[in-house]
Structure 1
């Protein structure tokens, strides 16, 4: 390990990059290396999260809805539109998710008393119990995955990823505007 806490171990991606450097020394491949590792990491983290959630009878999308309701605070109620925005998915996809969660007794849909054309989605007592049981296990799982990083390295990584995400989002937004 180097002084800054970086492992010196080479991995399969290093071998691929070495081949490309030999074949195409004219290309800057450092960004490819970083983004490929982020992609691999995301796949591993997602698989770990899905395994944990499945042990509790949940899928990732259902967990997202339950956590959105739970963090909204008492009375743990939102409209389907609010939920769709919070979990960044279509209304149609949200309807399917809510159907399953309601059938499981984790959420309840009722007519909005203020706007009877709309519904409210509420976390049931059982839903709150499930999310309050799963969330600590989820947080512990994520902490375990990050355990090899110290606080300083984790904070630095968070800052760098925040900048990268902001840049990639701006680039995607600009590309989307050019298409429309």
Structure 2
């Protein structure tokens, strides 16, 4: 990957140029892609975290609430199912659920079919907070992507899906 002459020198491209100068024997081309992915991800995460903080939420809390909300009524799941969706360990889910329960956003109850199974359900307050936060989250997400046309957004999504799928299957 080459840096276009009219592209401003910034942190990512400056780092790539310095590595090329210091180690011309290395193919440093992955650095631009990884650097820009990291930069974009960090900026978008910062913006979304600011939006979620207006609702008293951290991103991990919103992830759990949104997972429950998108499962439909009665907005409940087993902790292991939530963790599977979010790719989070059972022990991490236990801590997350405890904190959300203390905040009054979720409640625990036992499955009527098997009392050994704990079910996590959104409370009315949890539904309301999740819905309001989602509206703001999507508005900010759209704003964060406004530099891209709809076709560029679709193309980027396809490329990231391809990259994420290839990376995930290689790691397994």
Common fold by TM > 0.5:
yes
1:124 paired with 2:123, answer: yes
- What are the superposed Cα offsets for residues 12-60 of structure 1, whole Å, 9 maximum, x if unpaired? 2212211222222222211111011111221122122211111110111
Q: Which residue of 2 aligns with 1:139?
A: 138
SS class of match (2:88): coil
- How many residue pairs end up in the alignment? 167
Q: Which residue of 1 aligns with 2:151?
A: 152
Q: Which residue of 1 aligns with 2:3?
A: none
TM-score normalised by the chain length of structure 1: 0.88
Alpha-carbon separation, structure 1, partners of 2:145 and 2:25: 35
Alpha-carbon separation, structure 2, partners of 1:100 and 1:17: 42
- What are the superposed Cα offsets for residues 122-158 of structure 1, whole Å, 9 maximum, x if unpaired? 1111110101110010011111100010011111111
- What are the superposed Cα offsets for residues 103-125 of structure 1, whole Å, 9 maximum, x if unpaired? 11111111110111011111111
Q: Which residue of 2 aligns with 1:4?
A: none
SS class of match (2:141): helix
TM-score normalised by the chain length of structure 2: 0.91
Q: Which residue of 2 aligns with 1:26?
A: 25
Q: Which residue of 2 aligns with 1:166?
A: 165
| Structure 1 stretches lacking a partner, 5+ long | 1-6, 174-180
Q: Which residue of 1 aligns with 2:9?
A: 10
| Structure 2 stretches lacking a partner, 5+ long | 1-5
Cα RMSD for the two superposed structures:
1.4
SS class of match (2:120): strand
Q: Which residue of 1 aligns with 2:59?
A: 60
Alpha-carbon separation, structure 2, partners of 1:86 and 1:162: 17
Give the CA deviation at 1:95. Answer: 1.2
Alpha-carbon separation, structure 1, partners of 2:134 and 2:153: 21
Q: Which residue of 2 aligns with 1:97?
A: 96
Alpha-carbon separation, structure 2, partners of 1:170 and 1:30: 22
Find runs of 4+ consecutive structure 1 residues off by over 3 angstroms. 7-10
Alpha-carbon separation, structure 1, partners of 2:35 and 2:94: 34
